[in-house]
A and B are shown apart, each in its own frame.
Chain A
Amino acid sequence: MSIAAEPILRAQRLSKRFGGVVAASGVDLAVAPAEFRCIIGPNGAGKSTLFSMLCGIYRPDAGRILLKGEDVTRLPAFRRVRMGLGLTFQTNRAYHLLSVQQNLEIAARAAAAGRDAETEKRFNYAVSLFHFDSEDDRPARELPHHQLQWLEIAMVLAGGPEILLLDEPTAGMSPDETMQTAGVLQHLNETGLTIIVVEHDIAFVRKVAQIVTVLHQGYIFAEGTVSAITAREDVRKIYLGRTQ
């Protein structure tokens, strides 16, 4: 993790309200290339909204988003994906009613020849994690939940992103599967893929995170290394529901 390098993804003073709810208030974020960042915070802290803004699903009320140095605040979501952003959703959004084969075919938007060697390796690695038969017509939702999650990761990797955003990828997984996922993501990060994960599982965060950002009621409460953050009394307090 190089502090001096230009951040690959940067958010400046992002704000967003939904009616009476402040989802984000002046959020600043800077993620370095090949960094492994975890975003934690109690429920309702605004983590998914932050992701949605970074990807272009929601327009921020105020603030800027810079992807590889370019201002993408007004750019539609699909253009950001083509610039190298990838997202998996909080609720699994692989195509449940289509077969695994169809899922992967759709995800391979660029022809195989258009993917570079690094992308190809990462994609093949992700696909190797679950077994499938290309002649199998059964809907993808018949896969066990953790494999469905890995399928969605593989689908996003097919597009060759440089940054991967994962919204609670281990939700619903057993501790073993969670640690397996952590290992997978670590491997991908070591190949140079920038990874930002929203997570609740502290064991997972401890294993993989280089920097942790704590979100609380829409603003950045704390930021630092895993050990620094988990040692803080005030961070523990917000998880237990006491503000301040």
Chain B
Amino acid sequence: MTAAAAGLWRLINGREDIGRTPWFWGPALAVIAVFALLPLEATEFEAYNVAYYLLNVPMALGLSLLWGYSGVLSFGQVAYFGIAGYTYGVVAGNLAPSPWAPVIGSAAGLALAAAVGAVFGYFVFYGRVQAWIIPILTLVFTLLLETFLGQTAGYQWRIGHVQLGGYNGMTGIPSFQLGHLIFSGYAFYYLALVITLVTYFGCRILANAHAGKVLLAIREDVLRTELLGYDIRLHQLGVFVLAAVLAGLSGLLYVQWGNYITPSQLGLVPAALPVIWVAIGGRERLLAVVIATYVLNWINYSLSGAGNEYAPVVMGALLLGVMLFFPRGIIVTLSSGWRPNARKGAAKRDAVFDENGR
């Protein structure tokens, strides 16, 4: 192996996520193979559903990096989900039927999510606000955005020739296409799968890289980290913008999946969902978050058939239960118990979030 490849492998196989041994990678590759071969056995409809469970993973990964690794809790990631989705709808909708409209629209969606995240993050991190303020402000921001989009019902609320649509939302959003390849059906499934995998491994590399260690340091002790020469505000802003972009990525996949988006996607209940997935899986481990997001989305979807009203109650109860009995998350707790030389300190950590009030 060349030195570069060895370095990359070390970053992928680092300590900051679950699974480092062949006992892990073997089954992991098998699972990836199963997903890759799914279309051979499943109908297009089923593949489309699996794509839905997958497309929320980038947003959850971003929140994990933000909350689990950096100690910054955002309740408003769905705002960036929505910003990217709506922006894509506007840009791609206006540039249609050009075959490159979706690519440009996607770039625009991610760029706007990043820009808004940067401005918001500037006020929050360069103001050195107290930790509890951030969840509040991010929540308020997404609620305001939802309200704003909800009142865009009239015909005058359009950009170019794309209607914003008020509470009914924007419809007829073009699917993703590259040149003349349109990603619908199985093709979309593969798009979602590839993006999920790339995002996961990218985040895993980041967590193991030096930048990821700095995030841990900031989470653990802001003062000590600053006094080691780090510009805290810049690192926090950076991970916040990254999380916004990842949430935007999920938003893009969503509108390309369903070809519509409504303001309710930015509301109180959807805003809770990423926090729930990340808390239940275990916010400190990316793999735990991936698994939890997939499984919980699958459960949520199954429940929606049975009785939509109960889904939030079940989610809320699940969240409550996990917070009380599995504070580190179900999957993280299980995986810590797996290893024979598990951290002795881990038992002490289970009892409290940590001394810093998180």
Contact = CB atoms under 8 A, between A and B. Distances in A.
A and B interact physically: yes
Contacts, number: 73
B350 to A, nearest CB: 12
A156 B344 contact: no
Given A97-B345, A138-B345, A141-B345, A106 B223 contact: no
What bracket does the count of chain B residues touching chain A fall in?
20 to 34
A98 B220 contact: yes
Given A81-B229, A87-B227, A159-B228, A105 B210 contact: yes
What bracket does the count of chain A residues touching chain B fall in?
20 to 34
Interface in B210-246: 210, 213-214, 216-217, 220-221, 223-232
Nearest to B16: A102
B226 A106 contact: no
A78 B343 contact: no
Given A97-B354, A142-B344, A57 B223 contact: yes
A95 B227 contact: no
B221 A93 contact: yes
A142 B220 CA distance: 16
A78 B232 contact: yes
B15 interface: yes
Nearest to B349: A97
B213 to A, nearest CB: 5
Interface in A44-98: 55, 57, 76-78, 81-82, 86-87, 89, 93-98
Contacts of B229: 78, 81-82, 109, 159
A156 B230 CA distance: 12
A78 B216 contact: no
B230 A109 contact: yes
Interface string A170-209: 0000000000000000000000000000000000000000
B224 A93 contact: yes
Contacts of A102: 15, 213, 216
Contact of A138 (B213, B226, B228, B344): B344
Contacts of B210: 105
Interface string B237-263: 000000000000000000000000000
Contacts of A86: 227
A159 B220 CA distance: 19
B349 A78 contact: no
Contact of A106 (B228, B343, B354): B228
A21 to B, nearest CB: 21
A209 B229 CA distance: 27
| Nearest 9 CB-CB pairings of A with B | A139-B345, A81-B229, A93-B224, A106-B217, A95-B220, A82-B229, A106-B213, A78-B226, A109-B229
